[in-house]
Amino acid sequence: MFTKKRKDPFNQALESYETFINTLYTTVNANAVAWDIDPLVVAAFLAVLTPFNTAYGVSKNKNSATATDRATTQGARGVVNKFARPFVQKWIFLNEKMDDADIVECGLEPKDRTKTPVGIPSTQPDMYLRPSTSHNIVASFRQPKGSPASSKRGKPPGVKSIRVAYFIGPNPPAEPGDYTKFISFSNTTGVIAFNAAEAGKPVTLASCWVNEKEEQGDWCEIQTINIP
């Protein structure tokens, strides 16, 4: 069983996520001038947030929401996260005009500013999945564009391995750390094996970098694929 670190606010349950992401936007919008955040970027944030709020307003009604409504909400959430994750890194955590109290006001947990010889990985891997033979799934992991040493195809500096959490079947837990299965790879490509009885079932996966001290970074965006 792995030691849990701080939770990733972008991967929490929808009800909590809605509160978090709207708090983040509202706080940024109210303080954009003081924090010197580009107003065009703030407007772009609202442009991706509005469709999510609209979709979730429909899908959270359990008595009338359909599977299509819920899928629309998840898709809109993915669009928001694709925008908001790099936004938070650039305009919040690297913003010299913001202190820890400002970061907390945005609904985020300040990062540890203490310098250590081997730091906790600060980025999430880009994860690519493809079906293979014999009920296998091939997973590849890359550094996000714009991250330190991202021009290289290997792991980030200080990273020893990639940890993958996966859950077979519908209705996975909101947090990858609560999934039922885990596997680690020392290379940036690995094979996740399944058996014939699991063929056709959905499997939900997330991955993270792990340093030499076995400290893991945040989980990447969750992905679901059918077992071949």
| 95-141 pLDDT, tens digit each | 999 999 999 999 999 876 555 556 889 899 999 999 999 999 999 99
Is 74 a residue whose pLDDT tops 80?
yes
Q: Which value, to the nearest 10 degrees, does the dihedral of the CA atoms of residues 124, 128, 129, 132 take?
A: -130
Report the alpha-carbon distance of residue 196 to residue 67 in Å, rounded: 28
pLDDT of residue 2: 42
Question: Which residues are CB-neighbours of 146 under 8 A, at least 6 positions away?
Answer: 86
Binned at pLDDT 50, 70 and 90, residue 147 comes out as low
**Cβ-count burial 135-155 (b if 16+ within 10 Å, e if not):** bebebbbbbeeebeeeeeeeb
H or E segment at 160? strand 159-168
More confident residue, 46 or 146: 46
More confident residue, 8 or 163: 163
